Amino acid sequence: MRSTIAVGVACVAGAFALSACGGAQISATVTPITSGNATTSASTPTTPAQSVDTGTDAPQTGNNDPQPVVASNPSNCKSSELKLSFGHDSDHAMQKTYTSLQFTNVGQRTCTLQGFPGVSYVTGDSGQQVGLPANRSGNLGPAVTLRPGGSTTAGLVMVNPDPYPADQCKRVDVRGLRVYPPNETAAMFLPTAGESCSGNVGPLLTVSSVGKSATS
């Protein structure tokens, strides 16, 4: 059965204390809902790269995300300086939704993002992780410089759980995504209601590094 997943623009709301960093996929039927700022973090090693100037001046079941590896770079964007939402781009094909996570600099200073966000589905008021964290697609990519008001995106693929047998999938209602900006341990939460698999079916989310679109 094919399920349409509508992913719209959503803002960040609420912080989760769970530490995690993602490198896996997950799938779910998703209907994004608008929210405010929140916190979730993923980490990836940081290597020197050419900066790309972007912008203008002006969220105890399942496997836990691995502990993020944080690079000691004072120019890294902090979760408290970012607003998280779904990007405006969205496409549905072959039981998948291709969308993006948008990070906007709402702080007072210019900062940088480089690498992969950590992403996983969560459920319940306590933000319990559902299934495996997002798989990573592609290479690290260059650092992206965000001036105040500037934004960048990281591609995200969300797989529909419908094709998986019920006894393997073990569906769970999810209430959103826990997202760790690259090199951050403070999580952000992006509301999006739907279902995902808590069983051993592999990752149902795939994320690209910041500055890149969804590719698989």
Q: What does the pLDDT average to over 3-19? A: 35
Alpha carbon distance 178, 194 (integer Å): 14
- Tens digits of residue pLDDT in 55-92: 444 343 344 444 444 445 779 999 999 999 999 877 77
| Residue-range definition of the domain harbouring residue 85 | 14-210
Residue 104 is assigned to a structural domain of this protein: yes
Residue 72 is assigned to a structural domain of this protein: yes
Q: Please check the confidence at residue 42 and state whether its pLDDT lies above 90.
A: no
Query: Which stretches does DSSP call E strand in the chain?
Result: 14-15, 28-32, 38-39, 52-54, 82-86, 91-93, 96-105, 111-113, 118-123, 128-130, 135-137, 144-146, 151-159, 171-180, 188-197, 205-210
Q: Confidence band (pLDDT; 50, 70, 90) for 172?
A: very high
Q: Confidence band (pLDDT; 50, 70, 90) for 212?
A: confident
Residue 216 is assigned to a structural domain of this protein: no
Residue 215 is assigned to a structural domain of this protein: no
Q: What is the mean pLDDT of the chain?
A: 75
Greater confidence (64 vs 163) lies with 163
Residue 2 is assigned to a structural domain of this protein: no
Residue 158 is assigned to a structural domain of this protein: yes
Residue 204 is assigned to a structural domain of this protein: yes
pTM for this model (two decimals): 0.66
Residue 5 is assigned to a structural domain of this protein: no
Greater confidence (203 vs 51) lies with 203
- Tens digits of residue pLDDT in 134-151: 999 999 989 999 999 999
Q: Confidence band (pLDDT; 50, 70, 90) for 22?
A: very low
**189 closest CA partner among 204, 176, 202, 205:** 176
Question: How many structural domains does the chain have?
Answer: 1
Q: Please check the confidence at residue 8 and state whether its pLDDT lies above 90.
A: no
**What phi and psi values does residue 191 have, to the nearest 5 degrees?**
-60, 135
